[in-house]
């Protein structure tokens, strides 16, 4: 945690949970394994052109997935007096106190049966649109599935985010 008294906000990095580490590692292991297998087949096989094109296409797709997921994954959370900012490499999200109808802490099992409506479920974090019966549709920005907070805007939009230092989020509530 970094405290900046001049600007009066807290910066909290999104720490990865065990599941995010495992899924991200599995993604890279799959990438290296399949690429290695294709390279081995290129140098020992007969249909070199098709294997080379397959290797190139596979690596381009995997690189694109990695860059998009890493770029939109939540990196840091800034909690200030008037706003919460979810910092991401490509596009940060500003949530102003004046836009918020309510903020509540969710139980750790609140996302147990969440369905992805368009998002990422573990590669570099959990982010995108999700659905549960209890919450309905919501935007999720998290790297762990504990210390979750539900932010509801006046327009009805729901945002769920994880905060590794929940006492700072509760400080924002006051």
CA dist 153 and 166 (Å) reads 20
CA dist 103 and 22 (Å) reads 30
Kindly list the domain boundaries of the chain, sorted by start residue: 1-174
Q: Which of 26-30, 53-57, 99-103, 164-168 has the lowest mean pLDDT?
A: 164-168
Mean pLDDT of 159-168: 86
pTM: 0.85
Residue 143: per-residue pLDDT: 93
> What CATH fold (topology level) applies to the domain 1-174?
PH-domain like (2.30.29)
Chain mean position to CA 76: 11
119 pLDDT more than 80: yes
**In 3D, which of 107, 111, 75, 113 has the Cα closest to residue 91?**
75
Quick count: other Cβ atoms within 10 Å of Cβ 33?
Answer: 10
Provide the mean pLDDT of the chain.
Answer: 88
């Amino acid at each position: 945690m970094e405290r900046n008294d001049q600007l009066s906000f807290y910066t909290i990095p999104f720490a990865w949970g065990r599941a995010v580490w495992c899924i991200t590692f599995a993604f890279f292991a799959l990438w290296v394994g399949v690429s290695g297998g294709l390279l081995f087949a290129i140098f020992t096989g007969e249909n070199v052109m098709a294997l080379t094109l397959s290797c190139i296409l596979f690596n381009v797709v995997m690189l694109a997935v990695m860059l998009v997921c890493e770029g939109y994954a939540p990196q840091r959370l800034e909690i200030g007096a008037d706003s919460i900012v979810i910092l991401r490499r490509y596009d940060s999200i500003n949530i102003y106190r004046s836009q918020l109808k309510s903020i509540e802490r969710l139980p750790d099992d609140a996302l147990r049966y969440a369905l992805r409506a368009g998002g990422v479920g573990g590669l570099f974090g959990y982010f995108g649109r999700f659905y549960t019966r209890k919450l309905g549709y919501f935007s999720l920005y998290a790297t762990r599935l504990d210390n979750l907070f539900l932010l509801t805007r006046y327009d009805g939009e729901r945002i769920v985010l994880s905060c590794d230092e929940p006492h700072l989020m509760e400080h924002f509530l006051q």
